[in-house]
Structures are given as structure tokens and as C-alpha cells.
A and B are shown apart, each in its own frame.
Chain A
Amino acid sequence: MKLFQQLRLGFRSLLLHKLRSALAVLGILIGVTAVIWLVALGEGVSWQAQQQIKDLGATSIIVRSIKPAEESSQNSGGGFRMGIAYGLLRDDYERIVTNIPTIQRAVPMREISREVRYREQAIDGQVIACTPEYFGMNRLSIARGRALSEIDMQTYDNVVVLAHEVAEKLFPIEDPLERSVQIGTEFYVVVGIAAERSAAAAIGGSLDARQYDRDVYIPLSTFRARIGDRVATMRAGSFQSETVELTQVTAVVDDMNQVDATADIIRSLLQRYHKQVDYAVVVPKELLEQAETLRAMFNVLLLLIAGISLLVGGIGIMNIMLATVTERTREIGIRRALGATKGEIVQQFLWETVVLSGTGGLLGVLAGFLCGPTVTAFRAGVQAFFPQVWATLPPNIRNIEPRIAPWSIIAAFAISVGVGIVFGIYPARRAANMDPIEALRHE
């Protein structure tokens, strides 16, 4: 029989029991949709992660100060806590810049949390003390005013560039430029406002993605002069002071191939001057590779879940086909008497299951394309009706954009048809192996 005839016959037979067939189709539909959606969400998350890592720069090496474990820190003895000193030194920065020729440039940075205030408005800000190069390196553009300059560095001026969100919070009405904000005990004149910027990947032991929305940027030289290396923090009811010269040094090489070797040199250089490991060398390129591996693992997991749901769908199909075969015993006997071979009976029922699962697969693919709109609608729904819940969601979830992978569509559809064949074989063989005489006698 011709393909078209087979398909038509399959449809006709399935229409004998519309509800039952529809339920079997639904089983496969859900499985296929699950595959496409899960893969799309997974791809969306990993794409986001990759973008963030790429933002850190594939040719950069980030060296961060890390607070060593309490026991090993030298100054922790005695009843009165003297505070501890750890992390990258200005000397480290100099050594890195002067000794490693592959490094094109290196940018130092010091970071602390401080309240930032303008009159009644206050926020917990993240003070980033940096050089003018920091802006270029992190692709921070200036929306209004200007970035920090070399002159600011040399004059130790109290000037500040505010992140977009900070400016909005502190100055809901007024123009922030030329106003003075209070950071800690000092006042700083706002000279610029950075443009909006989405988060970058997590680095150096902190699990959260690097957010830019609480940042205020001041010159590194000013920080050293006004705030200094030693910073007191309130911890468990007592003050504790930490002495840190630099929070981070970002080094950039010319070529991606130089990243690994340069990172190794930095490591051995730091090792020579640090008694303890109070720093971490992070290579975004490695993060990218890790993310890639993670994504592959994630996809395997998703496929496993999706595979299980398709398996369930397949069992549904098998169930229905077994019922169909029993009900249509008479028809099988008639066809056998009229010349159908066992193989042709197998074919007929296999086509029927393929029509079932293929319809499910096709509808599933259509439903798969609804992933984006559904996520958007869901997001809007949560935002509108459960704002508290929304606020607690991590940004990676809040910003998730599903990316439908073309391979997932092809795979899902092919798998659904495959499921139909695999789960259709047993019922079809059962039909074919009936004794025609018995089958003809069947009521």
C-alpha cells in the first residue's frame, strides 16, 4: 500500500475512538513539549551564563583577594582582635605589571560595602575604588557626565561616578550631577552616571553573579587617602578590622592562547610572596569551558527527564494499541483471509502507532514554540500577583530567556516517532500472529 493510503487508513482507524486516541496523543505531546521546553530553558540559562563570562573577557585573568580561614590567619590570637591583613598587595600589582611581558595591561581595584547617602535617601552601596581603565575593561559606559580620570587619580579628589540604579534611588527627582553624596563619613561630588549594565558571572568564590547596580566608583588614590587599607566591619556584635590593599587585579593579555601560561606565571609569582593562599586566580576562559561542560551535563539530565516522559507516553500508546488490536481482531482475520501477510498486518498497526505518536510529536513541537511566550506570561504573572516571591527570585531565574534549540525539535519529533515504533511493535506483532480462523470467529 502506498504511504499516503497507509497514513489515511491509520487516521481513519484511530478516529473510531476519538477520546482514547486523543489521550494517547496527549501523552506524547507532553513528552515532546517537555523535551523542547527543558532544552530551551537549559540553553537559555547557559547562554546567559556564557554571556556573563564573556563579559568578563576571554583574554583576561582575574586575581582576587580571599580571606583565609580564621585558624590560619596570623593575627587572630589574643582576646582583643587586632584584625587581620590579607590579600593582594600593591607590590603584587607592580610585580605583575613589570615582570610579565604578555600582560597588555592590568587594572587594580579595591572594593568595600558602605552606606551611600544623599539627604534622606540611603542605600547599601558597593564602593569600587579603581583607576579610569576600570571602566573600559568592564565595558561600563557613561550615560551622563564623565568617567573617572587620571587627574582625579593625581589630585585625590572626592569625586564619584554612580551606577544607574544608585543614581535613580538616591536622586528620584533631582539631577545628581554636581551634588555631593555621603559615603561613610566623607562627601563626594557626583561627576558621572554609568549606563545600565546587566550582571556578570560569579567569580572568585562568591556564588552570586557580579551585579553592577549598587556600585559607586571613586578613584583608587582617593580611597587610599580617605578610607585607607584598614577597614572596620561589624561582625557578630564586635568590630573587626581587615587590612586589604587591593581587592582585585584584572590582567589582560593580547591573545587567548596566552591566558593559561600567563595565569600560571601569576600564580607562581604570587606563591613566592604569599605565605598563605589569600588570593585566587580566576580565568574566565576556564569558566567558559566549565560552563560548557556543565551545559552538556545539564542537557543529558534534561534528556533523561524528557526520555522518561516520552517513555510514559509510549506506554500509553502501547496500552491503547493493545486494546485496539483486541477490538479489531475480526478486522485482522478479514484482512488475513483477503491476502494480508503477517508483515502487512504488522505494517498496518505500526503505521497506526506512528500516526498517533507523530501527531503527538507534531502538536508537541507546536506547543514547544509556545515556550517563550509562556515564560514571558508566567514572569509577568508572578511579577503582578506575587511581587514578594518575585523579589526573592535570583536574577538568573528572573531574566531567563528560553532559547529553542533546533536540534531539540528534530530530536523530540524523531524520538516521538521512534517511541511509536518501539511501543507499537509488540501490539502489531500480536495482531499479526493471531490465527486467522480464530480471528474471523471472534465476536
Chain B
Amino acid sequence: MSGMTFTMLDATKMSTAEIYGKTLCDLGEEHKEIVGLSADLAKSTKIGMFGEKFPERFFNVGIAEQNMFGMAAGMAKAGLVPYVSTFAVFTSMRALDQVHTDICYQNLDVKMIATHAGLSFGQAGSTHHCTEDIAIMRSMANMTVIVPADGVETAHAVRAAYGRKGPVYIRINRGFDQAVYERPDYGFELGKAVTMREGTDLTIIACGSTVWRAVEAARTLEKVDGLKVRVLNMHTIKPIDAEAIERAVRETRRIITVEDHTTIGGLGSAVAEVAAGTGKSFSFRRLGVPDCFSIIGLHEDLLAHYGIDENGIAAAVRETMGRDFEADENWDDEV
């Protein structure tokens, strides 16, 4: 992959945020108009790596997120390309008016790399969990929303964000993510889902930390239950890959979405909007955090608690396979 200055082996030893920091350093070398901003979370979000390399192009505004996003808007208006990093919860909620009005409304080139998303900062509790941001950010006009599945995909996304006109929101986790790709050149393309596994019985559509878990579940289901489950990594939530969703409806007629996010308004809703538009009948289920403030705990434990780990996903698939949906003998596109 172009511009990646670390190997796959290095990538397994770096947290997702470190891969982001490294990628931004490389990108900053190539494009002098890139600047970085953080709000007393330079170290935690790893944008500090860029700050160390380009101190004169890095601005730590203190604990003042609203000012930070407003400043980023001003910098973008003046021709710079700001990469802005704080926790997802403060990007999507604390500074939302600035993101909405100063950045999205004016369609400015501000790239928001939001860390500690979903339940990945599990022990910090609901002031730091962020299970609403996909819903919020995808409702903003002009915004692109990317939820990378692992570190390597984060590197692709951070680079793709530069080439994409307008505001981009990239949602990453705290800490390490299980690598889902064996090679970096799997063909990342903004707005195009990646087929992680082929299958015709059911399609799991996942994003972020649930992709690896969905793949594991599909593997188990094939071995144990003989099921052929398709897994799509919907890394770009907006613009969504409608074609891949429509194909999944036609070809598998059973869809399960899974996300480390509330079931209201996120990936599941985005998929439902497209799938409902096909006019076909299909079985559908959304897995995610139910309508509540999460309990505290380790990320893995919380994903298991809300049934969005390998076991929860596999159980949901089995349950859905046993469910009937309205027969439609006339479907000529059915397989």
C-alpha cells in the first residue's frame, strides 16, 4: 500500500491509535498543509506523534474541545487541512455544534480522528463510552463516516480522508485491535464494503471491533453448523455501500448487523434504510448496545455482555436461521 512505512508485523505490535499517529506523520511529510490539533489528549490519542515531528504545525488547545473544532474550521477556511483528535464522545457531543455549523455546514476539510469509541474505554463509564456517535455523525450533511476494523484499515482511512473533500469522521478504539487482514493491499476503497467471507445462508454486516468477531462467528458456524455465512466489513458508514446491501438481501435474505454502538441510528439503521428500500421481504436483526447506558468493565466483557462478541453473534445467526420470513415464490433474483 502506498505510503505505509511500517510492515504488517510492526502493525501487530502497535495500538490502533499508534498506527494512526505514524500514518499522520507520514502524511504530514507529504502534505505541508496538514496541521494537527488536540485538547490535552495528544498522548492518549497519539496525534502527539505528529506534534513531536512537526511542533510548529501542532496545536494543543488545552481542555477546550469547542474552541478546537472552531479553530480547525478557521484553519481549513484559510487553506490548511486540520486533523483533529480527542475522544469520540467529546468530538461527537461536546463540540457537536461546532462540528455541525462551523465544519459540516461550510463543508470544510477537517478530518476528525476520534479515539476511545464505542465501549473500548469500558472502565471509564458512560461519560467516556461513546455509543451514539455513528448515529450523530452520519446525520450531518457533507460528513463522511468511517469505522475501520483494525489498525491497517485505520491507516488506509486516515490516508483516504486526506483525499476526500469535506469533513471526515474516523472512529477508532482505545488500545489494540485484533488484525482482520493478512495483507495491507486488500483493496480498501472508501464507500465499498469488504467481503470478508462469502456465503449464501445469511449476511452479517459489521464495522469496527465487531468485524473480527463476526468473522470468527462465521468460521464457527461453518464448522459446527455447516452454515455459509457472508461477512461484510462496512467500514464506510457514509456514504454506505448500498449495492452490497441490496445484493445481500437478494442473495441471502437474512441480514444481521453488528456494531459497538447503540442499536438506534447506527450501522444497523443505515443498513435497514437501504434494505427496506429494496421492497423485498427478508429476515433482519440488529445487534449492538441496547437503549441504555452501558455497565462498566473491560471492552471484551462488555461486548460479550451485550451479545456482540463471537458467541452472541453466532447465537443470533442460529436464531435467525430458524426464523421464517414471508415466502415469495416469484423472486426471480433469488438464489
The answer to whether A binds B is: no
Q: Which residues of B contact A (CB under 8 A)?
A: none
